[in-house]
Structure 1
Amino acid sequence: MNKVIIIGSGPAGLTAAVTCADKGLDVLVIDEYMIAGGRLLGQLYEQPDGTWWNGIKESNHLHQQALDLGVKFHLNIPVSNIEKKDESWIVYTEQKTFHANNLLLATGAAESPVPVPGWTLPGVMSVGAAQVMTNVHRVKPGERGVIIGVNVLSSAIAMELQLAGVEVACLTLPKLNQVTYDSAHPKKVLDSLLHVSHMAPSQFVKLGSKLMKNDFMKKLGVTFYPKNGIKMWDIPIQLRKAVIEIYGKDQVEGVTIATINTDGEVIPGSEEKISADFVCIAGGLYPLAELASVAGCPFYLVEELGGYVPLHNERMETTLDGLYVAGNITGIEGAKVAAAQGLTAGLTIAYNSGFEVLENDIHASIQAIEQTRDSAYIQFHPDVKEGKKIVQEQWENYVTTNLKLKSV
C-alpha cells in the first residue's frame, strides 16, 4: 500500500485522511496539538437556517471516521523539518522520523496580533486563545474583557464569549501607526465589515450596510458613526475609538481608549479608562506555510488570501512531486471550504496512487469547493476568489515555463 502522511488534523487534514483511507491507502496524521480537530475545536455559531455549527462535534465525527478506517494519529508531536529523498518524503519530529510517498500539508493558519502598549501584561491574549480557553477547555479567560481589533474573527469570538457568560465591554480599534494602519483606519475597517453585515442581529446595521455601496456613502458612514459604537449582540462595536494603552500593575486592570477622527488619529483630551480583567488582540490570520517553504515550494504574496501561499493547482498539487496542500495554508477561509479542499486533496492523492477512475470525482470536488466558497456564511477576505485566480494564473505560468524549458 502507498503511505500517506498528513500534517495537520484540522478540517482539511481530517477530511483528506478519511478520503485516502476510504480508498485503501495507509494514512498517518501528525499534529502538534493534543486533540484532533484544529481550529474546528473552537468554533460555535448559529447558521442562517437556525441550526448551530458545533466545531467540537464536527471534529469528533471526522476523527472517529478516520479511526474506523484505520488512520493512525500521532498527536502532540511538532514537525521540525521535511525533505524529499529519492521517491520518499521524510518528516522529522522530536520523537521519530517518518517516511511517505505522499505528503499533505494541512497546517492551517496562525494569528498575527498587533502590538499595543501593555500587551505583555498577564491577561492579554489573542482572540484565538480566548476562543480555545472558552470553547475547548471550558475556562473563562476572565469576567470582563475588551477586544482590540474589529474584524470577522473578533466579531464571531465576541459572540461566543458572550454565550459563555463572559462580558465583552466593547470591540474597538488599536491606535494608528505604521504596523496597525489597515486595522486602525476606520474606513478600511468599515469596508471589511460591510462584507459580513449579514451576520449582524441588528436590522439597522443590515439596512445601513446596503446603503453604503460607494465611497461617498462610506465616508459619511464613518463620519457619522456613533462615538460610543453600534451594538451587536449587546456588545458595542466602536470604530471611532482606539485603545492607546493596556494598563495594570501585575495583571490587566483595564484599557485607556480615546476618540479618533475619520482618519484614525487620536483626538487629544478624549482619553478615558475602561476596566477589564482580560484583553484580546485580534490582528487577523495568515497561512502557516513554513513547511512548504522548507520543502522548496515556490511562494507568492497574495493579500486577498491573507499572506504568502505555496504555489498549487485546483487539484491541491504543488510543484513538487508527492507534495499537496489543503486548507488555510492555501488562503484564509472557513472550515467548510477547508474540508472541501481536503476532499479534493485526498481524491488527487488516491488518483496519483493508481486509482485513475477518480477523475470525475476530482472534477466534481473542485466544483464543490467553489460552491462551498460562494455560499460561505463567513468570508475572512472578501476578494478571496480574485486571490485564487491569481494563484491559478501563476500556476499556469509555471507549467508553461517548465514545458518550454524541457523542450529546449
Structure 2
Amino acid sequence: MIDLLIVGAGPAGLGAAISAAEYGLKVYVIDEFVKSGGRLLGQLHEEPDGKWVNGIAEAQKLYERAIGLGVKIQCGVSVYDLIKLDNGWCVYTTDKAIESKCLLLATGASEIPIPIPGWTLPGVMSVGAAQVMGNVHRVKPGEKGIIIGVNVLSVSIARELQLCGVHIEGILLPKQSLLSGDAADPEKMMESLLRLSHLAPSPLIRFGGKWVSPKLGARLYPKNGFKMWDIPIQLRKTALEILGENQVKGVRIADITATGEVVPGTEKVVSADFVCIAGGLTPMSELAAVAGCTFCYVPELGGHVPMHNESMQTNVDGLYVAGNITGVESAKVAKAQGTVAGLAVARELKALVDRADEKIEEAIAGVKETRRKALIQFQPGIEEARRKLHREFYENSDGKTEIGVL
C-alpha cells in the first residue's frame, strides 16, 4: 500500500506530490489526460512586469521535480470508483485498483456549457478546448472566431488565441434564457470584466475599472464595445443563433439594452469559422461526492465544493482536496494549496513531525499571499467566502485540528 494517491496531475496535484515526497512519503499521481500539468498546459500570458509565463514549461518543471523525488506519475487513466478501507482507500481506475493510506483529490474544474441554437455544429467548442488546441497541440481552432460569454476566462483565453495567430471577431453575451442565467446579464458580466481592467492596454479602460460601478458601466457601455488587445468586448450585443449546416458559418447577433433585452431591428449575421462558448468554471467534485464528503454551495468559489479546512482536510478521514475542486482560482493558488495538502498528509502519517504545525501554518499563509497577488480573480469575495467555509467546517467537525482560522 502506498502512502498517498493523488487524483489529478495539475498544479495542485504536483505541488502536493512534491511537498509530500520531500518528507519521504511514497506518492502516486494519476491523471486522465495524456500529459501532466493540468490547467498549466494551456496557459501562455504576459505578467504586468513584462515577464511571459509559459504554462507548458512550468508544468515540466513541476513534473521533473516530482519525478526526481521518486513520485510515480501515470497519465491516461481515469478513476471510476473509490471506497473507504479500514486503513485507507481503494481507488478503481481504468488500469488497475490502487490502495493508499491517504487520498488527495485534485481534479480541478470543468467548464459550464451554455446551450444556444446551433451549438452542436462542428466548429463549436468550449473556450477551454480552443485554448488546449492552440497552446498544447499547436493547432488553430480556426481562422476567425467568435466567443460567446464575457467573463474572466473568455477574455484571457481570447488573448491567448490571438497570440496563436487567430482572429477573434468579438466576445459577446449569450441570449437571455433560463439556462444562460447571469451569463446573459450585462451588469453581472460588467462586474466580471472590471476585475480584468488592470490588464487592459488602454489607460482609459484601466481608469474606468477602478471607478465605474457595474450598473453604471453596463448603461454607459458603448454599443460596439471596447477593445482590449484589439479584441472587441461587446456587453451590448447578444448571440441569438450559431449558423451553418455541416460547419459553423457565422453567428446571428443583435443589440441589447443594459438589462439584456434584444433591441428590435438590430439583428445581423457575422461570419466566423469557429465559435467558442464560455460559461465559466465550476469545481469538478464528483469523486468527492462518491467518497462521502459533505458539500457546501459557495457561489464565490464556483458552486458546490467539498467541506474542508485550511489544511485541505475534508470531513472524511484520510481524504484531502486541493486546487479548483475547492473553488475556482488561479493555477498559482492551486499549487500553493497542493503544498499545504502534501504537508498535512505528511503530518498525518508521522513523516512530518518537527515543527509540523508551524510549517503548515506558513504554507497556509503562502496560499493567502498568493491569492492576494493573483493577476486574475475569477469571483469577488473569495477570501471571505473561504473563511466562512472553514468556520462552518469546524462547527460541524468532530474535533479535527484547527489551524489558521481567522
Q: 1:253 is matched with which residue?
A: 249
Q: 2:367 is matched with which residue?
A: 369
Q: 1:393 is matched with which residue?
A: 391
Q: 1:356 is matched with which residue?
A: 353
Once the two structures are overlaid, the 10-residue window that deviates more, 350-359 or 285-294, is 350-359
SS of aligned partner of 2:222: coil
Q: Describe how 1:264-343 pairs up with structure 2 within 5 A.
A: 264-343=260-339
Return the alpha-carbon distance in structure 2 between the equivalents of residues 220 and 73 of structure 1.
50
Contact 1:127–1:282 (CA under 8 A) maintained in structure 2: yes
Q: 1:194 is matched with which residue?
A: 194
**How far has the Cα of 1:202 moved from its partner?**
1.0
SS of aligned partner of 2:58: helix
Return the alpha-carbon distance in structure 1 between the equivalents of residues 195 and 97 of structure 2.
45
Q: 2:404 is matched with which residue?
A: none
Q: 1:180 is matched with which residue?
A: 180
1:257 partner letter = I
Q: 1:154 is matched with which residue?
A: 154
Q: 2:381 is matched with which residue?
A: 383
**How far has the Cα of 1:259 moved from its partner?**
0.2
Contact 2:223–2:236 (CA under 8 A) maintained in structure 1: yes
Return the alpha-carbon distance in structure 2 between the equivalents of residues 365 and 402 of structure 1.
18
1:99-133 deviation digits (Å, cap 9, x = unpaired): 00010000000001211110000000000000000
1:200-220 deviation digits (Å, cap 9, x = unpaired): 11111111122214xxxx433
Return the alpha-carbon distance in structure 2 between the equivalents of residues 181 and 295 of structure 1.
31
**How far has the Cα of 1:187 moved from its partner?**
0.8
**How far has the Cα of 1:385 moved from its partner?**
1.1
1:362 partner letter = I
Contact 1:183–1:283 (CA under 8 A) maintained in structure 2: yes
**CA RMSD of the aligned region, Å?**
1.4
Q: 1:240 is matched with which residue?
A: 236
Once the two structures are overlaid, the 10-residue window that deviates more, 222-231 or 323-332, is 222-231
**How far has the Cα of 1:386 moved from its partner?**
2.1
Residue 229 (1) aligns with residue 225 (2): yes
Return the alpha-carbon distance in structure 2 between the equivalents of residues 308 and 12 of structure 1.
19
Q: 1:109 is matched with which residue?
A: 109
Return the alpha-carbon distance in structure 2 between the equivalents of residues 346 and 330 of structure 1.
15
What percentage of aligned pairs have identical amino acids? 55
- The number of aligned residues is 399
Return the alpha-carbon distance in structure 1 between the equivalents of residues 399 and 10 of structure 2.
34
Choose the corresponding residue for 1:344, options 325, 328, 340.
Answer: 340
Q: 1:58 is matched with which residue?
A: 58
Return the alpha-carbon distance in structure 1 between the equivalents of residues 297 and 184 of structure 2.
22
Return the alpha-carbon distance in structure 2 between the equivalents of residues 385 and 359 of structure 1.
22
**How far has the Cα of 1:400 moved from its partner?**
6.3
**How far has the Cα of 1:223 moved from its partner?**
2.1
Contact 1:2–1:353 (CA under 8 A) maintained in structure 2: no
1:16-56 deviation digits (Å, cap 9, x = unpaired): 11111111111100100000000110011111111011110
Residue 29 (1) aligns with residue 25 (2): no
Gaps of 5+ in 2: 402-406
**How far has the Cα of 1:278 moved from its partner?**
0.1
Stretches of 4+ aligned residues off by more than 3 angstroms: 400-403
Return the alpha-carbon distance in structure 2 between the equivalents of residues 219 and 297 of structure 1.
38
1:201-249 deviation digits (Å, cap 9, x = unpaired): 1111111122214xxxx43322221111111100100000000000001
**How far has the Cα of 1:337 moved from its partner?**
0.3
SS of aligned partner of 1:320: coil
**TM-score normalised over the length of structure 1:** 0.96
Gaps of 5+ in 1: 404-408
**How far has the Cα of 1:179 moved from its partner?**
1.6
SS of aligned partner of 1:293: helix
Q: 2:134 is matched with which residue?
A: 134
**How far has the Cα of 1:2 moved from its partner?**
5.4
SS of aligned partner of 2:234: strand
Contact 1:147–1:280 (CA under 8 A) maintained in structure 2: yes
